[in-house]
Amino acid sequence: MKQIKRIIVTSAIAFVLTGCHLFDSKDIPVAPPVIINPTDGDVIETPPLITKKTDWDTILSPFTNKLINDSSSLNDENKILLISDIQNRSGDYLVNNQIDEVLHQLMNKQNKFTVASRQSINQAKQALGISPDDKLVSRGKMIGLAKSMNAGYVLFTTINKVPTEKNDANLSMELISTQTGEILNRVTSKDFSKQSTNDNQQSEASQ
């Protein structure tokens, strides 16, 4: 009889404890999950894990050479040249610092213009409140930057298509007057494709 009572008491205690546990669980508030939707300003351009190194020196040197040759008639006293940020219209990731460095190296080899240093450009950007990583590159903004540095010309480069194993790069390079905003000279990829076609036709004619 005592054993039966003990079983009943034990069962009752277990039932009470279980009921308390269930009751306490109901009182615990459960916070709904927080969903954060990124805004347009939060989109960050992420470079690919593996970036193939591009020989920009070989790609850009024909453009700079032609632009300098076509600008031989310029007689302005102010020969200071600002090399602008790269305008990327390719839709692909570009290592802009590599292109900018190559352009400065190429233009520093010529004697037509005095190239503004990258340090002076960064200081001018800081004074105007332009971010060093500014992606909104435009002619107007670069002309304004050049005026603040008393530069007479802007070298403005646009990448329309990055080079691949099958296709060459598609780009344009412009020499712009800071004073008037006029595009004095413009070199595009089509100029070299025309030249290649003409060379082939002359070669076939000589044969």
Q: How many domains does the chain have?
A: 1
Residues 6+ apart with CB under 8 A from 46: none
| Assigned domain for 16 exists | no
Render pLDDT for 120-155 as a digit per residue (tens, 0 to 9): 999 999 999 998 888 889 999 999 999 999 999 999
Render pLDDT for 171-206 as a digit per residue (tens, 0 to 9): 999 999 999 999 999 999 999 876 554 554 454 455
- 128-135: Cβ within 8 A, 24+ apart: 134/85, 135/45, 135/88
The domain of 186 spans 56-195
Are β-strands 153-161 and 80-83 bridged in parallel, bridged antiparallel, or unpaired?
Answer: parallel
| Assigned domain for 93 exists | yes
- What value does the mean pLDDT take over residues 165-170? 89
Are β-strands 87-88 and 170-177 bridged in parallel, bridged antiparallel, or unpaired?
Answer: unpaired
* Residue 85's CATH number: 3.40.50.10610
The predicted pLDDT at position 41 comes to 46
